[in-house]
Structure 1
Amino acid sequence: MIRNVYQFGAALASGIVFGFGLSLSGMLNPARVQGFLDIFGAWDPTLAFVLGGAVVVAFIGVQVMKLMLHPAFDDSFHVPTNRRIDAPLVIGSALFGLGWGIGGFCPGPAVASLALGLPQSVLFVIAMLVGMTLHDRLWRRRT
Structure 2
Amino acid sequence: MATRGAVLGANIVGGLTLGFVVFNIGFGDYSELNRMFTFQDLRMLFSFAGAVGIIVVMFALLRVRKTPGRIHAGVVPGAILFGIGWAISGGCPAIPIIQLAGGYLPALITIVGVVVGVRLCRWANGKYFHLDRGSCGL
Q: Sort the TM-score into its range (normalised by shorter chain).
A: 0.7 to 0.9
Distance 2:110 2:43 in 1: 23
C-alpha displacement at 1:9, in angstroms?
Answer: 0.6
TM (normalized to structure 2)? 0.79
Corresponding position of 2:136: none
Distance 1:64 1:126 in 2: 39
> Quick one: higher RCO (CA 8 Å, sep 6+), 1 or 2?
1
After the TM superposition, which of the residue ranges 5-14 and 84-93 deviates more from structure 2? 84-93
After the TM superposition, which of the residue ranges 51-60 and 83-92 deviates more from structure 2? 83-92
The 5 A counterparts of 1:1-143 are: 3-39=3-39, 43-66=40-63, 82-85=68-71, 87-140=73-126, 142-143=130-131
Give the count of matched residue pairs. Answer: 127
Unaligned ranges ≥5, structure 2: 132-138
Unaligned ranges ≥5, structure 1: 68-78
TM (normalized to structure 1)? 0.76
Cα root mean square deviation, aligned: 2.2
Distance 2:58 2:122 in 1: 29
User: Per-residue displacement from partner, 1:52-107 (whole Å, max 9, x unpaired)?
Assistant: 2211221122223327xxxxxxxxxxx7x643346521110110110111111112
Q: Please list every run of at least 4 consecutive aligned residues from structure 1 whose deviation after the TM superposition is greater than 4 angstroms.
A: none
Distance 1:120 1:102 in 2: 13
